[in-house]
Amino acid sequence: MDLLNTAEQLVIFSRYIGQQVMITSLLNNQITIGTLTGVKQNGMQVMVDDVSRWIPMTDNFKVCEIKLLLKPLKKLTSAITTTANSLPVQAFITPYYQQLGFDMPVFISPGHGCNCQYVQEIGLADYRSPAEIFQQHALLLAFESA
């Protein structure tokens, strides 16, 4: 994730408003799942348990790690593909897949090293479900306390 500055990360997150996010506190390693509801130049808004909160993001100081909970493209169904191909403009296909929560290759700026990589490949997404995340986190905590 050090390949992207905060502004570039926020551009990527802004394409996935409405998707679930995993927030890992760097202070106590606590994991929270919420829904991304907004992005501004220095943070993002997340809804957690019907409470909306802004998470500040800067290049110099991080209090948490945030990852989108997305689906890999291999989970596309033929019905979704058919609908996407019937959209009136081909440029609508990528936003349609993003709206459905599928991981798509990113474009940051001409010549950027992260162009054409999936969000998961650059460390901003996770393909696990919330249940899998909590189960694996509980196992990790149990292992660490043993």
Contact predicate 38/17, CB 8 Å: yes
**CA contacts within 13 A on the Cβ side of 138:** 6
93 located within any domain: yes
pLDDT tens-place string over residues 11-54: 999 999 999 999 999 988 899 999 999 999 999 999 999 999 99
113 located within any domain: yes
The Cα–Cα gap between 121 and 101 comes to 16
Strand 20-25 with 31-40, pairing: antiparallel
Q: Is the pLDDT of residue 1 over 50?
A: no
Q: Which of 20, 18, 58 is nearest to 38 (CA)?
A: 18
User: How much is the average pLDDT of 117-142?
Assistant: 91
Instruction: Give me the pLDDT at residue 2, please.
Output: 54
59 located within any domain: yes
Q: Is the pLDDT of residue 144 over 90?
A: no
Instruction: Give me the pLDDT at residue 14, please.
Output: 95
143 located within any domain: no
How many domains is the chain partitioned into structurally? 1
1 located within any domain: no
The Cα–Cα gap between 8 and 81 comes to 29
CA 136 to chain centre: 19
32 located within any domain: yes
137 located within any domain: no
Provide the 10 A C-beta neighbour count for residue 14: 13
- For residue 62, name the pLDDT band (cuts at 50, 70, 90): confident
Contact predicate 45/21, CB 8 Å: no
144 located within any domain: no
Q: Which domain holds residue 42?
A: 6-132
pLDDT tens-place string over residues 71-102: 999 999 999 999 999 999 999 999 999 999 99
Instruction: Give me the pLDDT at residue 116, please.
Output: 93
